[in-house]
Structure formats: C-alpha cells, structure tokens
Amino acid sequence: MLGHLKGCRLIALVGMSLTAAFSLIGVFANDPQVVTIWFALAFGSLGLCEPLFWTTAPMLERKGGLACSLVNTGGNGIGMLAPLLTPILAQAFGWSSAIVVACLVCGAGGLLWFGVRHNADSR
C-alpha cells in the first residue's frame, strides 16, 4: 500500500519516536519497576526498527554494499560511544539529561529516514 521505502519510513519514525517517548517517561518515573517497564518498551520499539535498516540498506542501488557497511559500522562502532559518553554526560548534567540527549539522537535518526532514496521511489 505505501511501498517499501514509505512503509519503512513510517515504521522507523513511529518506532524511534516511541523509543524516545518511552525513555522520557521512564526517566521521570519514580518506581524502579516502572522505570524498567518503560525502558523495556523503549528498547522493544527500537528493536522493531532494526530489520528496516538491514532490508533497506542493500536496496540503495549500486551503493548497497557501502550502505550495509555503514549501517554495521554505525550500529557497532559508533554505538560503542553511548556507554562511554552517557556516564560523562550524566556526571556533568545528571542522568535525566543524559537520557534526554539519547532521546534527541534517536529522534534525529528517525528524521534521517527522509533523506533515504532508492530505485523503488521512482516506481
């Protein structure tokens, strides 16, 4: 109905937006069990998006291999910065601020889907 790319954009935007929203709700919850539930929902929402990354990257024309390598590098290499930088931000500004930064990064990632183009767009 929407096509592959538009469907992926919609799911990514919804999934990454829910991730940010659930994380923010979790930050402001007081009960540790409730925080755990909200954070689990956030990770689950983000997990729904990961297959989209891996199915869309190879469809990027002749640059599919490069796109897959960037997805892998970004997911693993750059992703390793989060556990290093989050405590530094938390120490300087508090844990809530560190989680808000993570939510902003997640939201920016969802918006980047508007820049993704491949052959299926022209059909």
Higher pLDDT, 111 or 88: 88
C-beta neighbour count of 46 within 10 angstroms? 19
The domain spans of the chain are 4-118
User: Average pLDDT for residues 81-102, to the nearest whole number?
Assistant: 91
pLDDT at 74 exceeding the cut of 90: no
Task: For the chain, give the secondary structure using H, E and C.
Answer: CCCHHHHHHHHHHHHHHHHHHHHHHHHHCCCHHHHHHHHHHHHHHHHHHHHHHHHHHHHCHHHHHHHHHHHHHHHHCHHHHHHHHHHHHHHHHCHHHHHHHHHHHHHHHHHHHHHCCCHHHHC
This prediction's pTM? 0.78
Cα 63 to chain centroid, rounded: 22
User: In terms of Cα–Cα distance, which of 48, 45, 51 is closest to 21?
Assistant: 45
Give residue-wise pLDDT tens across range 5-52. Answer: 788 888 988 999 999 999 999 999 999 999 999 999 999 999 988 888
User: Average pLDDT for residues 64-86, to the nearest whole number?
Assistant: 83
Whose tokens are 């469907």? That residue is 7
State what percent of residues in the chain have pLDDT above 90.
36
